[in-house]
Amino acid sequence: MPVDPGEGTLPELVVYGILEGMGYKVGVDFTFQSAKYGGRLDRGGLVIDFLFNNPQGLAITTLGEYFNYQLRGGTRAEDLMERELLESDGITLIFIDEGDLMGPRARWFVEEALRFRDHSKLARGD
């Protein structure tokens, strides 16, 4: 059963809206807030913002400027570990920064993520 998009953060809702505008359907093409390895309830579990069936093997997670980059400096290591964990299951995790989703090129960043291209600060090593 699809999760109510109202439960997402603003950057997640921007991606959700762009995906819907591009014709992607929740529950068919992607799952929103998909729990893996037990989700937040199990140690080592995680929740992926967007897990795709089409294209298969793709996951997208948004990174908030305050929460991911400022508040929790250690989050960068956690995000990279999540990427490696998913990679071991054949899933490529692409990050999109909140700032990129709040700008005029938001759709372009989502399109790039759908092409398995990561332009986040984390991917650039910033």
Residues in the chain: 126
- The rounded distance, in Å, linking the Cα atoms of 100 and 109 is 7
Taking the model in full, what pTM does it have? Answer: 0.84
Domain boundaries, the chain: 7-120
Which class is 7-120 in CATH? alpha beta
- The continuous run of DSSP H or E covering 48 comes out as strand 46-53
Helices then strands, counting H and E runs in the chain, come out as 5, 4
Over residues 33-72, the pLDDT tens digits come to 886 654 454 555 587 899 999 999 999 999 877 566 666 5
Q: Which amino acid is at 122?
A: L
- The rounded distance, in Å, linking the Cα atoms of 84 and 45 is 13
